[in-house]
Structure 1
Amino acid sequence: MARPSGMSAGILFQQVLMLCLSVSLVSASEADELQLLLKLKSVMETPSSAVVFGSWRVGNDKCNFTGITCDSDGFVAEIDLARNGLVGTLPFDLICSLGSLEKIDLGENLFYGNVADDLRNCTSLKYLNLGFNSFSGRVPDLSTLSRLEFLNLNNSGFSGIFPWKSLENMTNLGFLSLGDNPFDVTTPFPMEVIRLEKLYWLYLTNCSIRGQIPEGIGNLTLLENLELSDNELSGEIPWRIIRLGWLWQLELYNNSLTGKLPLGFGKLTSLVNFDASHNRLGGDLSEIRFLTSLASLQLFENQLTGEIPEELGDFKNLTELSLYTNRLTGSLPPKLGSWADFNYIDVSDNSLTGSIPPDMCKNGKMTDLLLLDNKLTGTIPATYANCSSLVRVRLNNNSFSGAVPAGIWGLPNLIILDLTTNQLEGLITSDIGMGKSLAQLLLSDNKFSGELPEAMSEASSLVSIQLSLNGFVGKIPSTIGNLKKLNTLDLNGNQLSNSIPGSIVSCVALAVVDLSNNSLTGEIPDSIGNLQTLNSLNLSNNKLSGEIPSRLGLLRLSLLDLSNNQLTGPVPDSLSIEAYHDSFDGNPSLCSLRLKQLQPCNASSQATTHLGVILSCFFTGISLLLIIFAIMMYVKFRKKRNSLKSVNSLWRPDSWNMKRYQVLSFTEKEIIDYIKTENLIGRGGSGNVYKVVLGNGKELAVKHIWASSSGSSRSHPSSLAILSKKSTGTAEYDAEVAALSSIRHVNVVKLYCSITSEDSHLLVYEYMPNGSLWDRLHESQKMDMGWEVRYEIALGAARGLEYLHHGCARPIIHRDVKSSNILLDKEWKPRIADFGLAKIMQASPGGNWTHAIAGTLGYIAPEYAYTMKVNEKSDVYSFGVVLMELVTGRRPIESEFGENKDIVHWVCGNRSSKNSLLDLVDSNISDTLKEDAVKVLRIAILCTANIPTVRPSMRMVVQMLEEAKLCSLTNILVDKIGGKQLKDRRDTAK
């Protein structure tokens, strides 16, 4: 073999040297990457993620690490650790040192803190997913990431202003998802997006965008998904949108869009899901008839007119149709729902006529039949008697006639059957006993007849029975006591006879009983006085006889009506109060020692009132002795000194005026004696609170409020206002207290009396031994409350506010709803308290608002900042904050929420994922009940909506809370709760 020449040998040596050097450099680079990954592991690893990082150790090939993919040269190309519960801050200085990295997927974890500007060094990235985390601060500059094809920052907690200009260089971007982030400042629709012509997915929901959708959106002809919901968009839907022929999902709900659907909209024949609900769209639905691929059509709460196209009945994929609260006319397509696995229909609150299409449950999948508030006629088709999947049937406020198909009464999954205000007739059949899920049976104002079946008592989940204004006859079933969950029993305006069954006392949850306008006989069962939750009792216009049971006086009744019966004897002293002055009319044989409108009790009734007279004389004698004693001690009181000098200066028996709102067993002197520093138990925004223990052991709470501007009362630092009345305002004070004194509700603290002097007011309330909800959640008296207790507190407090807003002659706005104003009795039942800021609504036009400064930081509704006005919806907002406290265990304002952020921002920033909401639930709540807590948290989010009109009423809140325990909240709320409202707001509006 010939020897190589010198030149050839030199060249060969150089080549070998370069090859060795190259191998050495590659090896060093690979070793560096291994060390980088191990450092990354040390930063992100937690005990819960040990399994994920189990393979990340020295000795293993880094390309075999879990979540790591290498390119053909052995360099790290992808990091995919999504959905692994990873916690911590992200070290992008380490991550972006991986020079060949093209993909980062760290979505759906628990990363927090700021995302550093080091991210801009990942210049090779094509795929970046940081969605569904808990970052804070601004989105860093992304302008150097020009190779990006996929960018997902959805629901990541970012704030500030999104750097839209960063998108200008991302000409290859196909997937862009930035929604559900609390960006601080609204911006016009970003034109940078319009230039991204390769986009096929654009998700900008809840992204702080305002103004019109530009016509240029039609240039994004590759779009398959376009979601712009929950923003502040206005104007018309641009007509060039019809150029998006690949579009299968279009979401525009909860904006302020106007005008008609663009001419040619029907060309979007690939559309499967279309939702433009909660806007101001007008015009008709004629373009919809061409969208034959539709599976879900949601256009509720708009101003649409005309008829529902008959072609919808031929749509073979249609499963969801929601068009409620529009101005639609005509009939429903007769073949509607007959092809697909139709799930629900809601066309309520329109002017539709005609009959119910018979085949919407043809495939047995339908859950909701919601046609209320229309002009529909005909009978209920028999086909629905076999629709076992039905959960809600609401046909109320139409003109349906005929009998209800027997099987409907006993559908196994049916929760609500509302047929109110129709012309239906016939019987409630015994099939109702099979309705084990039925919670609300609402049949009022129809032509039903016959006897109430005993089997009704086998529907053990019943919460509300409302059968008023029908033709039912016979007796109330004696087995009604089996309904342990029953809250409302309304049988008013029928032809029922016989006596009231004593078993009614076993309905331990009863709050409302209305048996008026029937032909009931016999005596009022004394045991009704044992129904501690009873709030309203109406037995008027019957043939009841005998005496009024004295035990009724043990109840906190906001309404008592026993008028127009045949009752005899004395009215019990405990019921002889001004609040019930009309409750006994039309009973000629009743008498009273206190009520002037009734005849006085005379000798004929002396035997039955002997004990009462003796007691009355006894207490009168005691009162005289106390007055004499008070006069004797007058000088001593003047000399007495303590920390309340201003009060002591007025401790003269003749300087105080007591107004009684209940039957009392104490005098004003007994109360005044206890207004001492050692008895102080609290300071509120409107005064100090003292504990009084009477000689008989009864405990009371007394609030001391100064009437003059010179008083010493001070507001709590967090309170924006207190009740401060000058002497000239005493008449207003008396008027408001007199109105508040008429409140008798189990969930509103009882006011016994007021004691006033020239410059002081004392309000005497029942004492709540378990303190306030704030104390039990946040302060030294904090204790671990299970979800069952928290839920009952939430529901009880909601019922108290509902009564204030809807149950009084004039609505009362509390104006300072907060956890410290929700008191807990010895059985943990809540009472709404502290009405120092309460405002009674006037009947005058425009009287819905009050302009006084009111509220406590963290609970104040946002509209106060720009309107200086509050109304009932302001109370709803504050109550939503209380619900968030109950679910999360957090205070309304905490430093970790961020500067100028509160619990509402914190919760709503995590609201787009069920998993993230679960993470917000207080760790003291059992894991098995956290799903139930999330249901209530979603209701809280609705209550704290920025726009007051979007918030539910307290009546709706109570019904949602009740349904949250009865069924899955998916039957109440839209799956996407990020600003989207109730699928069936009318379902809970009554």
Structure 2
Amino acid sequence: MFATFRLLLLLSFLSLLTSAQSEDQRQILLNLKSTLHNSNSKLFHSWNATNSVCTFLGVTCNSLNSVTEINLSNQTLSGVLPFDSLCKLPSLQKLVFGYNYLNGKVSEDIRNCVKLQYLDLGNNLFSGPFPDISPLKQMQYLFLNKSGFSGTFPWQSLLNMTGLLQLSVGDNPFDLTPFPKEVVSLKNLNWLYLSNCTLGWKLPVGLGNLTELTELEFSDNFLTGDFPAEIVNLRKLWQLEFFNNSFTGKIPTGLRNLTKLELLDGSMNKLEGDLSELKYLTNLVSLQFFENDLSGEIPVEIGEFKRLEALSLYRNRLIGPIPQKVGSWAKFDYIDVSENFLTGTIPPDMCKKGTMSALLVLQNKLSGEIPATYGDCLSLKRFRVSNNSLSGAVPLSIWGLPNVEIIDIEMNQLSGSISSDIKTAKALGSIFARQNRLSGEIPEEISMATSLVIVDLSENQIFGNIPEGIGELKQLGSLHLQSNKLSGSIPESLGSCNSLNDVDLSRNSFSGEIPSSLGSFPALNSLNLSENKLSGEIPKSLAFLRLSLFDLSYNRLTGPIPQALTLEAYNGSLSGNPGLCSVDAINSFPRCPASSGMSKDMRALIICFAVASILLLSCLGVYLQLKRRKEDAEKYGERSLKEETWDVKSFHVLSFSEGEILDSIKQENLIGKGGSGNVYRVTLSNGKELAVKHIWNTDVPARRKNSWSSTPMLGNKHGGGGKSKEFDAEVQALSSIRHVNVVKLFCSITSEDSSLLVYEYLPNGSLWDRLHTSRKMELDWETRYEIAVGAAKGLEYLHHGCEKPVIHRDVKSSNILLDEFLKPRIADFGLAKVIQANVVKDSSTHVIAGTHGYIAPG
């Protein structure tokens, strides 16, 4: 009886305890609900005060109705996680909040979740450092990748997690740190993801002891040294990725033992040697080693890999043939072996399964014909075989592939014609076919390929007319048909292609008049109709175009040269047209008869007005000269650049006029001053930003630099002012260098007295953003430091001709473009002292820079 009473009493106590615990858990979860926000109204529908917490959506309980798991991944949640209350759940073992929009910092309270075995906070928008979680000794799965954490990661915390199975902390902007040695002690790891988290130096000894690993990724870091041979001990690996580091040496002997490998990517390193170790990896699905220094032949055994779907080996020094059976076994996706020295023919069966999306073999020494099988490859999007020695006819059906976006066959010896099948190429955006032996006519059906943006059929043997339907190509931006055998008239409908910015129809046999519709292009930058048989007068509409390249030379044009084309007449763009004449004497053109110009009365009236204007301007000029002498004595001021006549020389296609640049050269746009001129930040009407450097010419008297020019002159056409050495040096360097990381020089604008250099504007951080985004950065942190030192030593383009170049006074840490994690470390390496030294001892590191703050290795 007493025993029964005691039992009932105990059960009652447990019931009360469980009830209290349940209420506590409900309150904690309702608190979590109140702090989170999402667009799914049904997500928290079951989370209310009447339901059991074990029925809440995403919540799991044990047999005692105690919460063990909260899984709310991929629910578009935002807000800050309340770890101070969450970690009071006594049985919590699993928290899953991946793929949301959670923000804020993860508080130190997470250390109280001591029973956690599984934590997934990956793919969120947290900020700040991740806290030390040493107390979480039971952790087995830790996913923090791509979550916005920064600072120093608490690698020491991992030493307590001896049972850790999977670790993923990549894609976070941590501080630069050596590859963590703590990881090597985690012998039970089967998955390790440390890509793109700012790891540097060499891999630690002992990585080969993690023999349970099946997935290992440490790409997009700053790791150096020989690629470690102990990797070959990880025989359970099915994925190994270490691309975009600075590893050297050869592919280690013994890699053949990793026969379970399916995904292997060692691209964008500095590896050398051959690929012979890879011929044993018969289970490979994806093999990528592009942008290295590998040599030798592609092993013929790779052609027998039954599961291979992707092969990328571009930008190496490979020779010999592409294995002819490659890609013919599985659902092959793409091949890219461009920019090597490969010979032989294109393998015929890579699209045998009908799944191939890209064939990229450009810039090799391949020969033979294009296999006809690719004309049936309906999945193909990118067909690029340019710059080889291919011959024979292009398969007609290739022109009509329904999904193809680019056909690039240029610089071969290919023949045949563009077929009418092109009408079904609805996705085709670019045709690059120059320098071949194509013949036949341009089919009328090309007008049905309405996605075309670029058409380059230049330097072939194409004949006939331009189809009248060309005007249907509303997205067409570039049309190059030069050096063919085209004839007939230029269709008026071409003027309907209102996106055109670059037209070259030169060196053909076009006849008839130039369509006036060509003057209606709002974005046209380049028009070349030279060396044809065009006749009639120059349409007046062309005079309103703002072109960086304009050439009508060597045709049969007649009549007066429009006044607005005076400069073109001087620079040879109208030469070779003996029937042209000039109202005012221009160069070698004859003066137009009076009847073709204006009446004598009108000329007399204009002369009267001109004489009166000259007298008035003379008086006004005297007054202004006296007034400005006084102003100049008081302070320095920029003269009105619009008072001068300017000559524009472009090095890239322009989307602006010199007038828009000149209007922006004013004090409020000034961002820097130098001994030879000023630098301005210009914002165009389309929102694009430019940097403009104003340089005084060398033979302009000092007094004129502070005064206005009262007599506009055509700069450098009649023996005007000479440009400065600085101007010549910058133009020579920046107009000839083509590199993604060198500041782009759009054009120069020169007058008698001064010169303007128009650059792209690149703010601080541009170098890191550009390199990092393109995934083509090969600079480890040590090399980047060397570049910084080189910036202090090597801005010699600002002082060309000096026997011992000196540092430009604008060189300082704020003007040196390093990525953000390296900037705070400048002082640690004594860069400030290098800059202060102000003397160049050598210039082994060359740097192209702009005073608006951009550097890159030249």
TM over 0.5: yes
Amino acid at match of 1:43: T
Q: Which residue of 2 aligns with 1:32?
A: 24
CA separation in 2, counterparts of 1:441 and 1:615? 52
Correspondent of 2:419 among 429, 435, 441: 429
Is 1:480 matched with 2:470? yes
Alignment of 1:889-968 (within 5 A): none
One-letter amino acid of the counterpart of residue 644, structure 2: K
Give the Å deviation of 1:471: 1.1
**Partners in 1 of 2:500 and 2:462 — Cα distance?**
21
State how far apart, in whole Å, the 2-side matches of 1:489 and 1:293 are.
Answer: 46
SS in 2 for 1:361: coil
- What runs of 5+ residues in structure 2 fail to find an aligned partner? 649-658, 683-687, 712-740, 751-755, 765-794, 836-844
| 1:146 corresponds to 2:134 | no
Q: C-alpha deviations, 1:854-882, integer Å up to 9, x for none?
A: 9999996749967999978989999xxxx
Is the contact made by 1:486 and 1:510 (CA closer than 8 Å) also made in structure 2?
Answer: yes
- Counterpart in the other structure of 1:625: 612
Q: 1:139 to 1:806 in 2, by over 3 A?
A: same
Match status 1:182 vs 2:173: yes
Aligned to 1:722: 672
Q: 2:374 maps to which residue?
A: 384
> 2:290 is matched with which residue?
300
Which residue identity lines up with residue 163 of structure 2 in the other structure?
N
Deviates more, 1:220-229 or 1:51-60: 51-60
Aligned residue number for residue 224 of structure 1: 214
CA distances 1:161-182 after superposition (whole Å, capped 9, x unpaired)? 0011000000010010001111
1:497-512 matched pairs, under 5 angstroms:
497-512=487-502
Match of 1:939 in 2: none
Give, as a single letter, the amino acid of the residue that structure 2 aligns with 1:660: T
Matched, 1:87 2:34: no
Q: Secondary structure at the match of 1:504?
A: helix
Q: TM-score, normalised by structure 1?
A: 0.69
Q: CA deviation at 1:606?
A: 2.6
Change (3 A) 1:559 1:202: same
Number of the residue aligned with 1:759: 706
Letter in 1 for 2:202: Q
Matching residue within 553, 568, 575 for 2:558: 568
2:300 counterpart residue number: 310
Question: Is residue 353 from structure 1 mapped to residue 343 from structure 2 by the alignment?
Answer: yes
Between the aligned partners of 1:176 and 1:655, the Cα distance in structure 2 is 64
Q: 1:533 Cα deviation (Å)?
A: 1.7
Deviation at 1:26, TM superposition (A): 3.2
Q: Deviations over 1:81-140 (max 9, x none)?
A: 111122211111100001111111111222211111110011011001111111111111
How far apart are the structure 2 equivalents of 1:467 and 1:257? 42
1:745-824 correspondence to structure 2 within 5 Å = 758-759=705-706, 805=745, 814=759, 816-817=761-762
Q: Which sits farther off after the overlay, 47-56 or 632-641?
A: 632-641
State the 1:813 CA deviation.
5.8
| Counterpart-to-counterpart distance in 1, 2:797 and 2:601 | 43
What secondary structure, in the 3-state scheme, does the structure 2 residue paired with 1:814 have? strand
Structure 1 CA distance for aligned equivalents of residues 806 and 609 of structure 2: 47
Q: CA separation in 2, counterparts of 1:614 and 1:203?
A: 86
Residue 99 (structure 1) aligns with:
90
Q: Relative to 1, partners in 2 of residues 1:118 and 1:354: Cα closer, same or farther, differing over 3 Å?
A: same
The change in CA–CA distance for 1:362 and 1:487 in structure 2 (over 3 A counts) is: same
Deviation of 1:544 after TM superposition, in Å, equals 2.2
Matched with 2:631 is 646
CA contact (8 A) 1:459 1:483 kept: yes
The equivalent residue for 1:247 is 237
Q: Which residue of 2 aligns with 1:137?
A: 128
TM-superposed CA distance for 1:43, in Å, is: 2.3
TM-fit CA distance, 1:530: 1.6
Letter in 1 for 2:31: K
Q: 393, 413, 420: which is aligned to 1:403?
A: 393
Q: Which residue in 2 is equivalent to 1:113?
A: 104
Paired residue for 1:523?
513
- AA aligned opposite 1:397: N
What do you get for the CA RMSD once the two structures are aligned? 4.3
- 1:610 aligned onto 2:598: yes
- Correspondence 1:314-713 to 2 at 5 A: 314-577=304-567, 581-592=571-582, 596-602=586-592, 605-610=593-598, 621-630=608-617, 646=631, 658-661=643-646, 702-703=663-664, 713=667
Q: Distance in 2 between matches of 1:840 and 1:295?
A: 49
Shift in alpha-carbon separation, 1:169–1:621, aligned structure 2, 3 A:
farther
Matches within 5 A, 1:156-305: 156-183=147-174, 185-305=175-295
Unaligned runs of 5+ in 1: 664-697, 706-712, 741-745, 765-800, 820-838, 879-946, 951-990
Kindly tell me the number of residue pairs found equivalent between the two proteins: 752
Deviations 1:401-447 (A, max 9, x none): 00011111111111111110000112222222222221111110011
Separation (CA, whole Å) in 2 of partners of 1:419 and 1:487: 19
**Compared CA separation, residues 556 and 267, structure 1 to 2 (3 A):** same
* Cα distance in 2, alignment partners of residues 750 and 323 from structure 1: 41
Tell me by how many angstroms 1:550 deviates: 2.5
Structure 2: distance between partners of 1:23 and 1:266: 63
- Partner of 1:345, secondary structure, is strand
| Cα distance change, pair 631–854 in 1 and its aligned pair in 2 (3 A) | farther
Using the TM superposition, give the Cα deviation of residue 485 of structure 1 relative to its aligned residue in structure 2, in angstroms. Answer: 1.5
Which SS does the other structure have where 2:364 is aligned?
coil
1:275–1:299 contact (8 Å) kept in structure 2: yes
Q: Distance in 1 between matches of 2:477 and 2:26?
A: 66
| More strand per residue | 2
Q: CA separation of 1:340/1:127 partners in 2, compared to 1, >3 Å: closer, same or farther?
A: same
CA distance in 1, matches of 2:640, 2:848: 38
Deviates most, 335-344 or 104-113 = 104-113
8 Å CA contact 1:111, 1:135 repeated in 2: yes
Deviation string, structure 1 residues 455-490 (Cα, Å, up to 9, x no partner):
222222211111111111222223222222211111
Counterpart CA distance in 2 for 1:763 and 1:532 is 34
Tell me the distance in 2 between the aligned counterparts of 1:857 and 1:456.
53
AA at the equivalent of 1:123 = V
After superposition, what is the alpha-carbon deviation per residue over 1:754-807, rounded to whole angstroms, capped at 9, x for unaligned?
99954157999xxxxxxxxxxxxxxxxxxxxxxxxxxxxxxxxxxxx9996477
Structure 1 residues 623-654: Cα deviation after superposition (integer angstroms, max 9, x where no partner): 4433433455679769999xx98379899xx9
Q: Which moved more, 1:493-502 or 1:63-72?
A: 493-502
Contact kept in structure 2, 1:147 and 1:170, CA below 8 Å: yes
Q: 1:590 deviation in Å?
A: 2.8
Do 2:743 and 2:849's aligned partners in 1 also have CA atoms closer than 8 Å? Answer: no
- Match of 1:48, as an amino acid? S
- Quote the sequence identity (%): 45
Closer, same or farther in 2 for the Cα pair 1:750/1:371, shift >3 Å?
Answer: same
- Please give the alpha-carbon distance, in whole angstroms, between the structure 2 residues aligned to 1:285 and 1:849: 47
Q: What secondary structure, in the 3-state scheme, does the structure 2 residue paired with 1:355 have?
A: coil
Pair 525,202 (structure 1): closer, same or farther in 2 beyond 3 Å: same
Specify whether residues 444 and 69 from structure 1 end up closer, same or farther in structure 2 by C-alpha distance, changes over 3 A only. same
1:78 Cα offset (Å): 0.7
Identify the match of residue 68 of structure 1 among 54, 59, 64.
59
Encode CA deviations 1:242-280: one digit per residue, 9 max, x unaligned: 111111111111111111111010111111111111111
Alpha-carbon distance change, 724 to 190 in structure 1, aligned in 2, over 3 angstroms: closer
Shift of 1:452: 2.0
